[in-house]
């Protein structure tokens, strides 16, 4: 999938650094929320994605960073509609990648296309049965 990126690697790193700071602030505020553990896990998942993409942006082209992000997004299980506190890490990763796509100005059509390729998360009991 050919994606046009107008930001430089430096601009991508700077933007991701900003998002990491927001996630860190969320970590610090977690204890003041209704569900501190879920809030913390969501923020940590976002920070992890931002850090990973930053590392890639420092050594590879902007287009390669976007391709990596799109692949990570495609590889995430589809958990939309699950209980609020279920799959917190996956939802945090998804949120981080969607923030990244907004930051770089990715066409919504491309994100929707990749999102449609994601597979639904198997329930825990089904996943365990498939491994046996």
Question: Chain-centre distance of CA 85, in angstroms?
Answer: 17
Tell me, what's the pLDDT at 29?
94
Instruction: Give the pLDDT of residue 1.
Output: 64
Q: What is the pLDDT of residue 124?
A: 53
- What's the sign of the alpha-carbon dihedral 73, 76, 78, 79? negative
Q: In angstroms, rounded to a whole number, what is the distance separating the alpha carbons of residues 43 and 56?
A: 20
pLDDT of the residue at 105: 93
pTM of the model: 0.85
**Which residues, listed in sequence order, are joined to residue 78 by a DSSP beta bridge?**
120
Question: Which residues of the chain are under the pLDDT cut of 50?
Answer: 125-132
């Amino acid at each position: 999938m050919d994606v046009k990126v107008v930001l430089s690697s430096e601009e991508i790193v700077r933007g991701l650094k900003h998002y990491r700071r927001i996630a860190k602030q969320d970590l610090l505020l977690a204890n003041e929320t209704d569900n501190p553990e879920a809030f913390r896990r969501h923020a940590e998942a976002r920070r992890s994605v931002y850090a990973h993409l930053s590392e890639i942006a420092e050594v590879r082209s902007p287009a390669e960073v976007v391709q990596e992000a799109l692949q990570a997004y495609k590889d995430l299980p589809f958990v939309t509609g699950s209980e609020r506190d279920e799959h917190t890490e996956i939802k945090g990763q998804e949120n981080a990648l969607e923030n990244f796509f907004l930051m770089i100005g990715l066409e919504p059509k491309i994100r929707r296309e990749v999102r449609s390729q994601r597979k639904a998360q198997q329930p825990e009991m089904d996943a365990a049965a498939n491994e046996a």
